[in-house]
Amino acid sequence: MDKGYNAVMARKNEIMKKSIGIDYDLFERGNYAFDYEKMMLETGYELDEIARIQRETGVGNTPLIELKNITKLARMLAPKGKGARIFVKDEACNPSGSFKARRAAVSVYYAKKMGYAGVITATSGNYGAAVASQAAMRNVNCIVVQEVFDSKWQGQPEILEKGRASCLLEAD
């Protein structure tokens, strides 16, 4: 089988159909439009169910913290009577240290439910660590394909750190 770039891209729809059972052709409208709403109706989850799935692996319910100094600074800069209170939703409190755990939680849950051999993701960092973390908690095999270094073996520390996290979480 030809594993060259163009050959693989030409088989993309067939690969998606075979691996996750979604036929994207059904939602295509003409040459340019894609019926996202219809796809969500057929494959989506209700919000309550998403919240339940996320709770199972400690995802979400992150703290909402008021940044009092930043609010004060904003009010010093804003015209009189303006300047809202500023809060931060601390998504770093998710299991893998970013909000990407939210999406990964549902994907890995679904993969486990469907009895898939494992999960695989391409990432530049945070999503890979999130999938590896969710897969570890649900005992699902995981492969993370991450662009870590360039050809001169240079990489950004925060990106390298996410790659290291995936390795330590027993993902390939």
Partner 1 sequence: MMGEKAFMGDYVQIHRVILNPGERAPQVPDDTKKVPLEMFVKGFLVDTEAVLGQEVTIRTVIDRKITGKLVAINPQFTHDFARPQPELLTVGQEVRKKIKRGDLNG
Residues that bind partner 1 in the complex, under the rule CB under 8 A? 4-5, 69, 72-73, 76-77, 118, 141-143, 148-149, 151, 155, 157, 160-161, 164, 167, 170-172
Query: What's the min distance (Å) between Cβ of 75 and partner 1?
Result: 9
> What is the closest distance, in whole angstroms, from the C-beta atom of residue 116 to partner 1 in the complex?
13
Count Cβ neighbours within 10 Å for each residue of 140-168 and write b for 16 or more, e otherwise: bebbbebebeeeeeeeeeebeebbebbee
Comparison of 27 and 155: residue with beta carbon closer to partner 1 = 155
The answer to whether 134 and 112 have CB atoms below 8 angstroms apart is: no
Least Å distance between CB 168 and partner 1?
10
Min. distance of Cβ 160 from partner 1 in angstroms?
A: 4
Indicate the residue among 31 and 69 with the shorter CB distance to partner 1.
69
Tell me whether residue 25 or residue 150 sits nearer to partner 1 (CB atom). Answer: 150
Count the alpha carbons within 13 Å of 124 in the hemisphere toward its beta carbon: 3
Q: Report the residue number, 60 or 163, with the smaller CB distance to partner 1.
A: 163
